Amino acid sequence: IMLHSTLALSLLLIAVSSNLAMAIKKEKRAPQTLSRGWGDEITWVQTYEEGLYQAKKSNKPLMVIHHLEDCQYCQALKKAFAENEEIQEMAQNDFVMLNLMHETTDKNLSPDGQYVPRIMFVDPSLTVRADITGRYSNRLYTYKPQDIPFLIENMKKALRLIQTEL
């Protein structure tokens, strides 16, 4: 009887630990938290400072997305952004990517106000590109879901500027 209960206990321990191992594995595969829904395949930097460092080091432009969780315009843009394959691919391969839910101390990132959503580009020489704007004169760096093609053009423009200017 003693042997039987030891065996039962070992089997129980094995079952518990393998379930635990599976739970841990599942945890690892969860979407990374830094993406905040903008694209889980994209490597996101955590801070503006890290973004600047990576941009300089990799010679890629930094794309900064300012947004807030409870902003419906941000949510709509995020959905369109995350679903667009061309944007996701460029963001993965050609840009240093940062999405922020708070303002940075760099005033150059809010040349016309601290509204959201706001997308700005910083080139590898660490210059904020105030010349890459969206379509709205009252909020120069905002984009709506229907502006995704325009955002793609601006991403390509940011890449072209590096080749021609830097």
Written as tens digits, the pLDDT of the chain (166 aa) is 666 666 665 665 555 565 555 555 544 444 458 999 999 999 999 999 999 999 999 999 999 999 999 999 999 999 999 999 999 999 999 999 999 999 888 899 999 999 999 999 999 999 999 999 999 999 999 999 999 999 999 999 999 998 776 5
Q: Give the residues across from 128 on adjacent strands.
A: 122
- Give the C-alpha separation, 100 to 122, whole Å: 14
Number of CB atoms found within 10 A of residue 140's CB? 17
Maximum CA extent, the chain: 82
Strand order in the sheet with 62-66: 96-100, 62-66, 118-122
pTM greater than 0.85 (yes/no): no
In the chain, the domains with their CATH numbers are: 48-159 (3.40.30.10)
Cβ 39 vs Cβ 32: under 8 Å: no
Model pLDDT, residue 28: 46
Cβ 91 vs Cβ 39: under 8 Å: yes
Please give the single-letter amino acid code of residue 86.
Answer: E
Where would I find the H helices in the chain? Answer: 2-29, 48-58, 72-83, 85-93, 148-165
Model pLDDT, residue 163: 79
Cβ 74 vs Cβ 67: under 8 Å: yes
Model pLDDT, residue 24: 52
- Give the C-alpha separation, 61 to 134, whole Å: 17
Helix (H) / strand (E) element for 62: namely strand 62-66
